[in-house]
Amino acid sequence: MKITETDDNFQIASNFIPYNGLNIGEGFTEFERYDRVREVIESSGGILNEMQAVELLEEVGIVYDNEDRLQWTVIYNLSTLGGVIFANRNRENLITFRLIP
């Protein structure tokens, strides 16, 4: 296991592994998706609300061979210590939670 740190106030994961200067991907569009997410976050000053994050995930989630590969994701809100679980692109069934400090 390798801890990857960032100088930004946010972190992005899109199914590739940055390690020792290499970016090892799965062969889909992980690098383009990462770039798009970074672009949106940076253009918003590093802050998205939870619904903006859900919309961005809908935009960049993979559909490959008519199969939706966006199974689930968790959006953490570090300001409120809460978040949203977004599964199967179903906005009607967002699961919200709060972390106990």
- Tens digits of pLDDT across the chain (101 residues): 667 777 888 777 766 666 666 666 666 677 788 889 899 999 999 888 888 998 998 888 777 788 777 778 888 888 889 999 988 888 888 999 999 87
Instruction: Answer yes or no: is 39 within a domain.
Output: yes
Tell me how far apart the alpha carbons of residues 21 and 25 are, in angstroms, rounded to a whole number: 13
Structurally, how many domains does the chain consist of? 1
1 in a structural domain: no
Q: How far, CA to CA in Å, does 19 sit from each of 2, 3, 29, 41, 65?
A: 8, 10, 18, 23, 29
Output the pTM of the full model: 0.73
Residue 3 included in any domain: no
Residue 71 lies in a domain: yes
Nearest C-alpha neighbor of 33 from the set 10, 50, 58, 51: 58
Range of the domain at 72: 16-98
